Structure 1
Amino acid sequence: MGTSYPSPITPSNTRIGWIGIGVMGSAMASRLLSSGFSLIIYARNPSKADSLLSLGAQLADSPAHLAKSCDIVFTMLGHPQDVRQIVLSENTGVLSGLNPNGVIVDHTSSHPELAKEIYAAAREKNCWAVDAPVSGGDLGARNGNLTIFAAGDESIVCWLSPLLQIMGSKVSYMGGPGNGHSCKIANQIVVGANLLGLSEGLTFAKKVGLERNHWMEAVQGGAAGSMVMDLFGQRMIDKDFKPGAFAEYMVKDMGMGVDFIEGEKEDDKIVVLPCASLTKQLFSGMVANGDEKLGTQGLISVIERMNGV
């Protein structure tokens, strides 16, 4: 392939597959359907596909069967092991069915090394792989305001831009395979720190007798303000812990950062991340409390428990 993909992306000539229809994946896939693209979807639990089927999506019985009928396959799954199974499984995985010049786009918050492995396996089949995790939560997914960190072959990312721009208001090319997931891990380190700071700020405000909505309104325009506050502050106050992303996913994301070791040579450095380590422990506390399926804004419940609120 040269500097661009030979066929422009249009609803009439581009066949799209989608795997992963949780809160985020379903909203993202819905935006493609609403933009006129036809979708074939695969769901391990087909009953969860009803809303997309009502919008015109078709259902495939395996990732490989889906891939055989598609030019592009998007995945939005929970964990790296899910991505490995769905994409790389022999005979049933996406790559086993994808036709030459087909493209896999993984939106999962996954591991950079797995992205490199998938890219290499795709190239062996004369296919392409892009790792393109997202940030912006469930509201961003529904409104098409996600930030997308795309990595892989730059010409393929450019070719994909008409689709990525339907789902995201900002698409950044981050470099070679795995860099998208590395960017997302760093993003989650900052998000986790913001969630922790906001949880502690709201808990402190309540303890000292401040009206928390008024406190948040006062600080929102200053240095303490953040997108995390905009997205989750009111939900924390209202104890609305409906998930955009599960708390257990933050344990996974933080773990990929905290446990990161670059290579295996003696002179390689372990990345020391004290704030991320603490945040991972606190999210692990949510999981231990049985709250792993709450939204990440539920972190405030851990801080409130610690303070007897």
Structure 2
Amino acid sequence: MNTSGEGMGLLKGMAVGFVGVGPTGTPMARNILSAGASTFIYSRTPSIRYELARSGFHLCQSPAEIAEKTAGGTILILAGGSDAPSLIAEGEDNLLDVLHPDTLVVDLRTGAQTQAESYTLRADEKGAHWLTAELVRTKSAPDTVQEIRVHGPLAIFKRALPVLNCLSDTVRHLEGAENS
């Protein structure tokens, strides 16, 4: 991850939310906070929530609250597991039901491409934007993100780039995804 310190203040004035933080998401969230963004987090794990709240993050009680607090900003989804669809699209306080127009969502979950089409359509209905991304990790340090490969319209990718550059030194828009 880009931890060189060059990004200090790079995201000042931006609102960025994280749905799901753990071994991969916590360092990513710290980079976003260090870059100056107002950073909102949601995690199902109480110890992670409280640790990050003490570190200057804004603690949210649900994915829906993340969407409310970051209206028009960027939301990064890292939540995994079998209940991820309920957090994103199906549960009572899910993210997609309350997305605001012009909010950008980058889905960084493993296997996120399987639901990408339906999530993209639901985001489009709200006037929001949905990108999916693959995290390429190093074999020697599986919690380290070596590269982020993004699927989605090129113009939306360019909008996400300042945030994604804080997460990895290498961020690529995949060939042929311009018309996605």
What TM-score results when the alignment is normalised by the length of structure 2? 0.82
Show the counterpart of 2:77: 75
Deviations 1:277-298 (A, max 9, x none): xxxxxxxxxxxxxxxxxxxxxx
Show the counterpart of 2:121: 120
Amino acid in the other structure paired with 2:78: M
Conserved 8 A contact 2:20-2:78: yes
Q: Distance in 1 between matches of 2:170 and 2:11?
A: 22
Q: SS state of the match for residue 22, structure 1?
A: coil
Conserved 8 A contact 1:27-1:141: no
Show the counterpart of 2:104: 103
Q: SS state of the match for residue 64, structure 1?
A: helix
Q: Distance in 1 between matches of 2:98 and 2:10?
A: 22
Question: What number of residue pairs does the alignment pair up?
Answer: 167
Q: SS state of the match for residue 115, structure 2?
A: helix
Amino acid in the other structure paired with 2:169: S
1:23 deviates by 0.4
1:103 deviates by 1.2
Task: Check if 1:151 corresponds to 2:151.
Answer: yes
Is the helix fraction higher in 1 or 2?
A: 1
Q: 1:164 to 1:121 in 2, by over 3 A?
A: same
Q: 1:16 to 1:111 in 2, by over 3 A?
A: closer
1:10 deviates by 5.3
Q: Distance in 2 between matches of 1:164 and 1:111?
A: 17
Q: SS state of the match for residue 166, structure 1?
A: coil
Amino acid in the other structure paired with 2:150: A
1:69 deviates by 1.1
Q: Distance in 2 between matches of 1:117 and 1:49?
A: 29
Conserved 8 A contact 2:11-2:163: no
Amino acid in the other structure paired with 1:33: L
Task: Check if 1:30 corresponds to 2:33.
Answer: no
1:112 deviates by 2.2
Amino acid in the other structure paired with 1:103: L
Q: SS state of the match for residue 169, structure 1?
A: coil
Conserved 8 A contact 2:76-2:107: yes
Asked which structure has the greater CA Rg, the reply is 1
Show the counterpart of 1:85: 86
Q: SS state of the match for residue 44, structure 1?
A: coil
- Structure with bigger RCO (C-alpha 8 Å, 6+ apart): 2
Q: Distance in 1 between matches of 2:23 and 2:91?
A: 28
Show the counterpart of 2:164: 164
Amino acid in the other structure paired with 1:75: I
Q: Percent identity?
A: 25
Q: SS state of the match for residue 168, structure 1?
A: coil
1:158 deviates by 0.8
Q: Distance in 1 between matches of 2:51 and 2:146?
A: 21
1:100 deviates by 0.6
1:64 deviates by 0.5
Give 5+ residue unaligned stretches, structure 1: 1-8, 180-309
Amino acid in the other structure paired with 1:37: A
Q: Distance in 2 between matches of 1:53 and 1:173?
A: 33
1:97 deviates by 1.8
1:25 deviates by 0.8
Amino acid in the other structure paired with 2:45: N
Q: 1:28 to 1:141 in 2, by over 3 A?
A: farther
Conserved 8 A contact 2:80-2:109: yes
Amino acid in the other structure paired with 1:48: I
Q: SS state of the match for residue 21, structure 1?
A: coil
The two structures, once aligned, show a CA RMSD in angstroms of: 2.4
Q: SS state of the match for residue 14, structure 2?
A: coil
